[in-house]
Chains A and B, each alone.
Chain A
């Protein structure tokens, strides 16, 4: 498929080396079209899997007449259906995602949001290249934007445009956003969450994730961490100002750096444990690592 996108986050020459990789899942999914992914449906004209004794109401077209003739008992032939993948990407567009380090430079450059934009653009391109469908959701205090699943070039262009024009909102309610997304998605697929999980209702967020899991969605949590979030800057005194209208704090970093690092590490550990407990595929992604390297590793691992 020829993609006609002008997104500044799309670097086709860089993605050329990843074209041979496909985003796949080992779970069986519900797809709209025939594809290369295992469908949750058995039947069709795909690969034979097994026999099953006939029960009233079954489709008589799948009855194996030869077995009936030989044994006198009706058996149905079972085939594994293959379908296409539907991947919904949820990008956290809260204010905290705008954090790009302590150096004062152009707004948003090097931020977690920009990293997510690059990653989501590349990911959507690769998914659509494999004839799979991609959906996009932008979450903050609610579900602000949503583009349903699709794989056409127009659809992909719309997705890229939305990604490119992403702005942030000064609040995070990931749980609310996920629930709203859940209501809009009908078919099972893969939910890719790109977030820093810096929200007050972390428990609520994973509660919503568990909803997806109960519907047999495969949920991948990409935890974006900026390296300068892990430790405070060196200096005598700073006034740290929150990015989501959450106030400010005066302190001397030398006095609290150790406690802060412990607190941040605890936060990361909590996110990880909750994600794993919810049956998510958890990956901690540092924005210090190039997004292509992250993407490559992510895809390779999934191919197995």
Chain B
């Protein structure tokens, strides 16, 4: 603080000696102004002292915001965790530089050795992988790890990474240890929007260093490539390729899809900033699992890895239906007869259709017959045995579809048994029970219909007009289950009981049509055949080939029923994959089938489960679609909304300037204001 006084003394003007005949006039004037000059000098001295004090304070800025680490018995005082994003988006190239290459020097700067600091590096993608179990002073190993790391074709699981860092920071030190978390990432909007920093210890200093390019590079990506619905041999199907265009301009794109030996070409225009679906009709004449790939042709964009996507198609033979009913095939009209005719309208004339639909009495149905069917239809089945129920549920869990026409009171019992056998995998939204004695269920009409949902969506805008004349009778009363998914109730009767319920059960589906078809006018309605067709198509169409797994995510899937037993099964990785066989996961045989379980899906490609040369199951590992959107989250959103009230410092690596700090700017302005006030003061006193 003596500096202002020294400066004031040093800057005091040194007078030049001059003889003057009128010096007494000067003395008089100076004497008159002596009091003013003294006041001026004091004011100027104070202003100058304030300006210099503020200037010193501003200069001390880098130190004032950081708490000095306290010495604790010679041990390290600062624990620093560096989260380095190595997700797929970090491989984006802008101006010829990969984003991860921008991040490396920043990470090295943070993990490099400093006295009193222990650091650790967590490489984050689908999982968070710390280099050491706890912060270490081995900076050489950390720097070496930073230099070797490459982007992984995985999504960044932000919360997993923050949890890992929080766990590590909580473990170290006591109250006097300074904890720092450095996050180096491109802060993709799609990943970071749900970040929660509250899991970190309260005293953690959080610094976010963005390496996102100033201008987001345009990117095109294949978001999805899969057949629409169930693919049957020799039957045309819709092949869809969804392309995301993350650029400000629409693009004309061409996608080539290879499935087995077949190749298809799709063309279309992708709207700017949105997803577009390219569709073509394809036919496959080979049964079984076919692997393939969809790729964009002639596209150069910011992220090349997502311009191709593996896909799997399971080509099914013609479906086989098993109808478990006690009704006679000759009983016409009957509920089962109506269902037969709805499933195959040409049943009477086409002998092949007669082979496809097998009618069995549940009491005589054996395991092979049930297992070989693609779709089970239960109509007036009577009381089902426990074995049959368990088998049906097991098949459902493995992907089979079941259509249950609930017409008799005993059907309520069967459904309860099925729900019990399936356990938590089957959560019916309603609970069926027999109507009370004397309750007559007839002339019921539909009140609540999910018009935009299967199967009523097949009628489009005319759905209301088509279903209005329908009248139903028979069936069971129902009561809604608390907490169940009401979207599974596709239609409701006028007495608030459920008409049609379609719910998932493991890999399969269960549809319950709650009516006595013989007492309803539905079979006589033109809506009956398309309605049942859509419903059966849905039940058959839960195609396993549409299942994909994001690379790096845990795998836990039930294999198809034919995978039993697990012995002899082998998991095959893609030909170009370098993944070790131990990392492909394990196959467990459980009650409901064989489960494939792995800690993390491998690199993109098709993974097959084989028995000998036969492919039992195939699954495509893909790059998560979220990684294709390279738009970063705004810094304000991170520091204000997501920080949860914590002091989160955000800095872009591309900014040459220090982050804005209004407080220091204010001090600098006050400092300038003091100097300006001094100048004005001098001017005023000289007037």
Contacts and interface: CB of A to CB of B under 8 A. Distances in A.
Interface string B10-40: 0001111111111111111110110001000
B686 interface: yes
Contacts of B13: 236-237, 252
Nearest to B686: A255
Contacts of A198: 21-22, 24
B222 to A, nearest CB: 77
Contacts of B686: 252, 254-255
Contacts of B19: 99, 240-243
A224 to B, nearest CB: 10
A247 B28 contact: no
Interface string B199-231: 000000000000000000000000000000000
A152 B20 CA distance: 39
A226 B20 CA distance: 11
B19 to A, nearest CB: 5
Contact of A99 (B16, B21, B24): B21
Nearest to B20: A240
B664 interface: no
A196 B13 CA distance: 32
A249 B16 contact: no
A238 B15 contact: yes
B685 interface: yes
Contacts of A229: 20-22
A185 B27 CA distance: 38
A235 B21 contact: no
Nearest to A226: B21
B685 A240 contact: no
Contacts of A117: none
Nearest to B16: A238
Nearest to B17: A239
B29 A243 contact: no
A263 interface: yes
A8 B685 CA distance: 49
Contacts of B22: 96, 198, 229, 260, 264, 267
A242 B24 contact: yes
A243 B25 contact: no
A19 interface: no
A259 B29 contact: yes
A214 interface: no
B18 A240 contact: yes
A239 B29 contact: no
A249 B17 contact: no
A263 B16 contact: no
A131 B590 CA distance: 153
Chain A interface residue bracket vs B: 35 or more
Given A241-B23, A242-B20, A256 B29 contact: yes
B161 to A, nearest CB: 65
A296 interface: no
Give the residue among A226, A248, A249, A254 with the most B Cβ atoms within 10 A.
A249
Nearest to A228: B20
A233 B686 CA distance: 15
Contact of A246 (B15, B18, B24, B685): B24
A4 interface: no
Nearest to A233: B18
A250 interface: yes
Contact of B15 (A96, A250, A255, A263): A250
B30 A249 contact: yes
Interface in B21-79: 21-30, 32-33, 37
A264 B25 contact: yes
Nearest to A200: B24
A263 B23 contact: no
A229 B685 CA distance: 24
A77 to B, nearest CB: 57
Contacts of B27: 246-247, 249
B299 to A, nearest CB: 72
Contacts of B21: 95-99, 112, 196, 198, 226, 229, 242-243
Contacts of A259: 29, 32-33
A236 B30 CA distance: 15
B23 A249 contact: yes
Contacts of B26: 232, 240, 249, 251, 256, 260
B18 A102 contact: yes
Contacts of A241: 17-20, 23
Contact of A256 (B14, B16, B24, B33): B33
Contact of B23 (A97, A112, A240): A240
A242 B17 CA distance: 11
Contacts of B14: 237
A236 B18 CA distance: 13
Interface in A237-289: 237-243, 246-252, 254-256, 259-260, 263-264, 267
Contacts of A256: 26, 29-30, 33
Contacts of A252: 13, 686
A248 B23 contact: yes
A83 B24 CA distance: 45
Contacts of B16: 235, 237-239
Contacts of B29: 251, 256, 259-260, 263
B659 to A, nearest CB: 43
Interface in A91-144: 95-99, 102, 112
Contact of A263 (B18, B25, B37, B685): B25
A247 B23 contact: yes
B25 to A, nearest CB: 4
Contacts of A112: 21
A283 to B, nearest CB: 19
A251 B30 contact: yes
A226 B30 CA distance: 22
Interface in A160-192: none
B28 A243 contact: no
Contacts of A235: 16
B686 to A, nearest CB: 5
Contacts of B17: 238-239, 241
A229 B18 CA distance: 12
A178 to B, nearest CB: 20
B671 to A, nearest CB: 25
Contacts of A251: 15, 26, 29-30
A242 B25 contact: no
B15 A237 contact: yes
Given A238-B15, A254-B686, A255-B686, A263 B28 contact: yes
Nearest to B37: A255
Contacts of B33: 255-256, 259
A255 B40 CA distance: 12
A265 B579 CA distance: 103
A250 B17 CA distance: 9
Contacts of A240: 18-20, 23, 26
A42 B413 CA distance: 168
Given A247-B27, A251-B29, 9 more contacts: A232-B26, A237-B14, A238-B16, A240-B23, A241-B19, A241-B20, A243-B23, A259-B29, A264-B25
27 contacts: A96-B21, A226-B21, A229-B20, A229-B21, A237-B15, A237-B16, A238-B16, A238-B18, A239-B15, A239-B16, A240-B18, A241-B17, A241-B23, A242-B21, A242-B23, A246-B23, A247-B23, A249-B23, A250-B30, A251-B29, A252-B13, A254-B686, A256-B26, A256-B29, A260-B25, A260-B29, A263-B29
Which 7 pairs between the two chains have the least Cβ-Cβ distance? A237-B13, A99-B21, A96-B21, A242-B23, A239-B15, A240-B20, A237-B15
